[in-house]
Structure 1
Amino acid sequence: MALSRASTADEVVAHLRTLASEENRAGMARFGIATDRALGIPNAVLNPIARQVKRDHVRAAALWATVIREARLLAILTDEPSQVKRTQIDAMAAEFDSWEIVDHTAHLVCEARLAHEIIPAYAADEREFVRRTAFSTIATAAMHLKKEPDDTFVAWLGLVEAHAGDSRNFVKKAANWALRQVGKRSLTLHAPALAVAEKLAASSAKTAQWIGKDAVRELTDPKTLERLKAKTR
């Protein structure tokens, strides 16, 4: 049966099961993707399915409830941002167990215009994947929220600096990503992002030092600077 906008969650899941691959599932584990509830379907296959079935808020909730990795990714990809509320994201966050799910959810948070609520609240949350959501959302916003004023990102840089001592792998990598993306957003934001990066690089704390040094390396790369200058021409 071909999938369409009218397809139910059960029909979508039944189709996903026909695409399961144990070989792919094993490969995903090597990239730190939680595979205990995965079918082993790559995102390159899931994305066209998402376009095929289109958006449906009710079906997205049903897909999320299956707890299957691929169904949850489709839930995120096909939800209706205008229908997504903070309570829904909070409930999803309580079940986060993979950086991949977090980073996809960051897009939904931005699309649903919840970034201003989610970012400070989740940065303050001690749960690893929830805090990662804050920084992943900053990085995503820096890339996709084109109309967001620079002052917003300057304020969010303060959160990166405040939590740069969190040594947990999925947090520190997201904090680094956020710092780099803000610095690459515009020439105006490059200077404050680089200042934070240099401050962290000079820190005696190993995690902050790593986040800072890696960001300084990219933000001072001539290719990065040339791309930023090209944006202003």
Structure 2
Amino acid sequence: MSPAPRRSGSGAKDVLAWLERRGTKKNVAMLSRYGITARDPFGVTVGDLRKYAKGLGTDHALAAALWASGRYEAQLLAAFVDDPEQVTTRQMNVWAADFDNWAVTDTVCFALFDRSPLAWKRIPVWAKSKHEFTKRGAFALLWSLSVHDRKAADAVFVRCLPLVERAAADERDLVKKGVDMALRAVGKRNVALHAAAVATARRLAATEGGSSRWIGRHALRELESPAVKRRLAKARRG
């Protein structure tokens, strides 16, 4: 792999040039197999991007420039190199409005936004969005925080469950799947949240068809599985 450009160099131009050299048509063709509707992709694998990002280090200005390029892999790199402490509410809203495929949405939420102290306040705002990927971002963020924010109190997750319940009626597939993953992630966090998530899932499963019923049934299938119950019981015992 080509070495990462020096941070004292031209920055984004060097990175974009590396992406151009590294990309392949085969990798571009693979994106559609995963339902990734990326704009003007280079064709660089996520594995290569993660390795390359380590060489770039943390660079907020570079992240902004890469994001502004609008190119798929450049935006993934932006999430990997940005500094969550420098991320602002405005940046989060602008980037969320730019989300145009599930891979960028989920990567930004899991690799960057969930590490920002501003993350929790974005969930209820984005959950009301009409934009498909901004709305998915709300639940990708809740999903990610369920996994990564070890210090968060149960109450903040419980407050998000009504958002899950309302958004479950959205029939758009990528919103539906994001809501489902968020509900399951909350329910797997601990015994108390498991009970709250199961109650939400049961209400959804009892609705008459549509995405709400699908989410409820799908979530219950995992949350009430012996494997999940054993893991939660073991964690409770310490």
Which TM-score tier does this pair reach, normalised by the shorter chain? over 0.9
Query: Partners of 2:13 and 2:214 in 1: how far apart?
Result: 45
Are 2:212 and 1:208 aligned?
yes
Question: Which of 19, 23, 26 is equivalent to 2:22?
Answer: 19
Unaligned runs of 5+ in 1: none
* Structure 2 residue 21 is matched with structure 1 residue 37: no
Could you tell me which amino acid in structure 2 is paired with residue 190 of structure 1?
Answer: H
Once the two structures are superposed, residues 141-200 of structure 1 have per-residue CA deviations (whole angstroms, 9 ceiling, x without a partner) of 000000000000011111000111000011000000000000001111000100101110
Partner of 1:113: 117
> What residue is the counterpart of 2:31 in the other structure?
28
CA–CA distance in 2 between the matches of 1:128 and 1:194? Answer: 26
When normalised by structure 2's length, the TM-score is 0.95
Once the 2 structures are TM-superposed, how far is the Cα of residue 105 of structure 1 from its aligned partner?
1.7
Deviations for 1:125-148, whole angstroms, at most 9, x for unmatched residues?
111111100011000000000000
Contact residue 135 and residue 178 of structure 1 kept, 8 A: yes
Alignment of 1:62-73 (within 5 A): 62-73=65-76
Q: Is the 8 A contact 1:184 1:190 kept in 2?
A: yes
> Structure 1 residues 27-36 or 78-87, which shifts more?
27-36
Cα deviation digits, residues 35-89 of structure 1 (max 9, x gap)? 3311111111111111111110001111111111111100011101111001011
For the 8 Å contact 2:38–2:101, the answer to whether it is kept is no
C-alpha distance in structure 2 between counterparts of 1:163 and 1:62, whole Å: 33
* SS of corresponding position for 1:197: helix
State the distance in 1 between where 2:86 and 2:42 align: 28
Partner of 1:74: 77
Matched, 1:84 2:108: no
Equivalent residue for 1:99, pick from 94, 97, 102: 102
Aligned to 2:139: 135
Q: State the alpha-carbon separation in 1 of the partners of residues 159 and 47 from structure 2.
A: 35
The 4+ residue runs of structure 1 with deviation greater than 3 A are: none
1:49 aligns with 2:52: yes
Q: What one-letter code is carried by the residue in structure 2 that aligns with 1:20? A: G
Paired with 2:35 and 2:202, the residues of 1 have a C-alpha distance of 29
Q: Residue in 2 aligned with 1:3? A: 4
Q: 3-state SS of the aligned residue for 2:169?
A: coil
SS in 2 for 1:94: helix
Within 1, Cα distance between the matches of 2:100 and 2:199?
33
The partner residue of 1:145 within 142, 149, 159 is: 149
TM-score of the aligned structures, taking structure 1 as reference length: 0.97
| Number of the residue aligned with 2:223 | 219
Query: Contact 2:89–2:118 at 8 Å: present in 1 too?
Result: yes
Q: Distance in 2 between matches of 1:102 and 1:84?
A: 16
Q: Which residue identity is paired with 1:100?
A: A
The reply to whether residue 163 of structure 1 matches residue 167 of structure 2 is yes
Q: Is the 8 A contact 2:39 2:70 kept in 1?
A: no
CA positional deviation for 1:5 = 5.4
Deviation at 1:205, TM superposition (A): 3.6
Tell me the number of residue pairs that the alignment of Structure 1 and Structure 2 aligns: 233
For 2:233, the equivalent position in structure 1 comes to 229
